[in-house]
Amino acid sequence: IRVNELKNISKIRAINSVIYSFMGLSPVFISLATFYTYISLNGNIDARVAFVSMSIFSILRFPLIFLPESIRIMVAASVSYSRIRKFLSLPEIAESSKGYHVETNISDEKAIIRVFDASFSFISDNPPFLKNI
């Protein structure tokens, strides 16, 4: 399980590095693409248009930098919403969990840890909140 977790973490880090690289370079690429399109359509660019465009791109730089990050956050929120909705649509369990038994594929012979007549508390001075388990 830990090996799969490490593989997933390395994939996430690689994807995040690509996203952050794109975040830093997106204003430059958008500016270049806009100037290229303007020159392709009009054939020439004068100083007035160039400086006004650079001023507008300077104003829009911060929102353009965080556009990929906001997309990533929206995707993560969508996944979280789906998981929460799936969990909340599960059928309710019985009000009393006394006598509730979960079936497992592990036999008593294969059990790694066994606890008999145990009592548990968070702080050793307090009375136990779980008794005789």
Instruction: Report the mean per-residue pLDDT for the chain.
Output: 81
Q: Tell me the pLDDT tens digit for each residue of 77-103.
A: 999 999 999 999 988 776 655 555 666
Per-residue confidence at 104, pLDDT binned at 50, 70, 90? Answer: low
- State pLDDT tens for residues 38-68: 999 988 888 898 889 888 888 888 887 777 7
CA triple 33-39-42, angle to 5 deg:
135
Can you tell me the distance from the alpha carbon of 82 to that of 78, in angstroms, rounded to the nearest whole number? 6
Handedness of CA 31, 34, 39, 40 (dihedral sign): positive
What band does 133 get if pLDDT is binned at 50, 70 and 90? confident
Domain range annotation of the chain: 1-89
Residue 22 φ/ψ, nearest 5 degrees: -65, -35
In this prediction, residue 106 carries a pLDDT of 64
